[in-house]
Amino acid sequence: MKIAIAQLNFHIGNFEGNLQKMLQAVEEAKAKQADLICFSELSTCGYPPRDFLEFDDFIELAEQTIAKLADAAQGIAIVAGSPSRNPVVEGKDLYNSAYFMADGEVKQVQHKALLPTYDIFDEYRYFEPANEFQVVEYKGKRIALTVCEDIWNIGNENPLYTICPLDEMQAQNPDFILNLSASPFSYKQAETRTKIVQTNVKRYGIPMFYVNHAGAQTEIIFDGGSLVASPSGDIFDELPYFKEDVRVYELDAVTKGGQNKLQARNKMQLIHDGLVTGIRDYFGKLGFKKAILGLSGGIDSAVTAVLACRALGPENVHALLLPSQFSSDHSVDDARQLAENLGMTYDIIAIKNIYDSFMGELGPHFEGLPFNIAEENIQARSRGVLLMAYSNKFGNILLNTSNKSEMAVGYGTLYGDMCGGLSVIGDVYKTEVFELARYMNKDGEVVPENTITKPPSAELRPNQKDSDSLPDYDILDEILFHYIEKREGPQDIIEMGYDEKLVRRILRLVNINEFKRHQTAPVLRISPKAFGMGRRMPIVGKYLA
């Protein structure tokens, strides 16, 4: 038997576009004499469709797409993911299902049993879990159909679940496993899912064909990396990251094994390529073409500009340099140099006169009060007004350049430097931003060296440095990582040797600035715990306040 797997970039709700992609892949697989082609989880409608699933019309369109795929299943079997209706009154209205189609009709439907409801996942909100498991028989082979999380409860050892679908099917003696996945990207996910796949094939002694999404859906990025695994645990093949691909395999060769084709995994390359994919698909799927950002000469805006130019092309990215009376000459020079290195256009608009105008009006009201954060924020908001004006006039989408460290502790100005339609590096800690800049320069200087080596500064008052308000980023980011990613409390972190006063101050800053994060743009997710839908915190709370 020849098995094709199709790693495609789907578009949520674009049923016709998704169908045409799948039909094209079916023709490609048939040309290579494949007997079966498998697509990923919820491939008809895209993942995650969220509350679109509550619209009856949305489900009808998914059913129509399945009917058209079934019509195309002539001379080849097609396996695709799609929502299906629950025919009984009890339980949720829908299942998350894998459809097996052949000879022009739907032959069998296997529902997903394990419904993740944690971090960015909320599947139990919509779907009823499966309680029946039946292998598919096709051309003399017995196929275990599984959907994503169904392979993540090996031996029923995952405390989130009480059933192991593959254990249930084992008695039916399947010859191989198909897994239809929508496995979101984080820089650790490829390693984790590889271990899961390897553990499964070793446990059951049969091959697995694991098919993942590629591309991005708003903040969620899918890296592809679909896997074909032999019973020995060797990865017979791994599809490319962040790219569409269709490949065909001889089942006997995969079963025999003897080759291991895992790709090298570099954290900064994965983050870089993931963010480029996120920007490209956010713009492409929403019909946007051009971006604008404020270029300060600092590391964050520089890295964001590089990512935008690589995603959209430098001809589609424009920068505004917005110096104030506190901006250093070298910051303007660094910003100019970066723009020239990238081949992007830019304009310079000094904000001193705008700031002075505000202060002229506010002066009588502020009389006798010292310069403080109010005056700093007026500068940031003046820049935000100019950037949004440019965005409105020319249709360029404003990219936010705040990093995760700043977002965590509230080191940013609402309606100022926190403006934007998309937060590009809001899931990248400051220390990682520096690593990313170094990675971008691996083949020659793109980000000016001075931008990387100079002390970080918002330049909102004379001789200002980030270290005036924040601890060194090496220490700050470690504490933030333990609190945000690892969900460790203050006492746990203090016992690691960090200063108690510093820990409590940082964690308090994280909590009291939740209101800012609720008002920011979608954050491209590259870590196991990003700000946004995967981290749900109350704005008003007493914990660590």
Q: Where residue 458 falls among pLDDT bands split at 50, 70, 90?
A: low
Q: Check if the beta carbon of residue 42 is closer than 8 Å to that of residue 36.
A: no
Same domain (yes/no): 258, 315: no
pLDDT at 544 over 80: no
Which of the following is catalytic: 41, 168, 219, 459? 41
Q: Give the helix/strand (H/E) hosting 279.
A: helix 267-286
Alpha-carbon torsion (427, 278, 318, 266), positive or negative: positive
Q: Is residue 459 part of a domain?
A: yes
229 and 297 share one domain: no
- pLDDT tops 80 at residue 327: no
CATH number of the CATH domain containing 446: 3.40.50.620
pLDDT digits (tens, 9 = 90+) for 79-107: 999 999 999 878 999 999 999 999 999 99
Q: Which of 441, 466, 491 is the last residue of a domain?
A: 466
**Rounded Cα distance, 351 and 51, in Å:** 43
Rounded to whole angstroms, the Cα distance separating 216 from 207 reads: 28
Of the listed ranges 37-51, 210-224, 461-475, 511-525, the one predicted with least confidence: 461-475
Here the CATH number for the domain that contains residue 50 is: 3.60.110.10
Q: What percent of the chain has pLDDT over 90?
A: 92
φ, ψ of residue 179 to 5 degrees: the values are: -125, 120
Shared-domain flag, residues 287 and 168: no
Same domain, 79 and 158: yes
Active site residue 112: yes
The number of distinct structural domains making up the chain is: 2
* One domain for residues 243 and 322: no
Q: Is residue 13 part of a domain?
A: yes
Out of 219, 242, 265, a domain closes at 265
- Residue 455 pLDDT grade (very low, low, confident, very high; cuts 50, 70, 90): confident
- CA-to-CA distance for 521 and 373, rounded, in angstroms? 23
The verdict on residue 495 lying in a domain is no
pLDDT at residue 57 is higher than 60: yes
Q: Which of 38, 148, 164, 419 is catalytic?
A: 148
392 and 247, same structural domain?
no
- Is pLDDT larger for residue 113 or for residue 157? 113
Annotation marks residue 148 as catalytic: yes
21-25, 70-74, 250-254, 369-373: lowest mean pLDDT where? 369-373
Instruction: Specify whether 301 is located in the same domain as 261.
Output: no
> Do the Cβ atoms of 484 and 510 come closer than 8 Å?
yes
Q: How far apart are CA 483 and CA 531, in angstroms?
A: 13
Q: Report the distance separating Cα 306 and Cα 291, nearest Å.
A: 12
Parent domain of 445: 270-466
One of 21, 112, 285, 516 is an active-site residue; which one? 112
Q: Is residue 244 part of a domain?
A: yes
The HSE-up count of residue 57 (CA atoms within 13 Å, CB side) is 1
Phi, psi of 217 (to 5 degrees): -125, 100
Clarify whether residues 183 and 325 are in a common domain: no
In sign, the C-alpha dihedral spanning 41, 47, 50, 54 is: negative
Residues 335 and 364 in one domain: yes
Establish if 493 belongs to a structural domain: no
Averaged pLDDT, 203-218: 98
Residue that terminates a domain, selected from 421, 448, 466 = 466
Same domain for 275 and 289, yes or no, is yes
> From CA 280, how far away is CA 259, in angstroms rounded?
34
Higher per-residue pLDDT: 144 or 324 = 144
Q: What are phi and psi of 355, to 5 degrees?
A: -60, -45
- In-domain check, residue 477: no
Read off the pTM: 0.95
Q: Is residue 545 part of a domain?
A: no
**pLDDT over 80 at 465, yes or no:** no
- CB 461 within 8 Å of CB 376: yes
For residue range 516-531, list pLDDT tens digits in order: 999 999 999 999 999 9
Asked whether residue 122 falls in the same domain as residue 163, the answer is: yes
In a domain, 107, yes or no: yes
Peptide bond into 314 cis (omega under 30): no
pLDDT in tens, 279-310: 999 999 999 999 999 999 999 999 999 999 99
* Whether residue 191 sits in one domain with residue 145: yes
Query: pLDDT confidence of 366, banded at 50, 70, 90?
Result: very high
List, for residues 179-191, the tens digit of each pLDDT value. Answer: 999 999 999 999 9
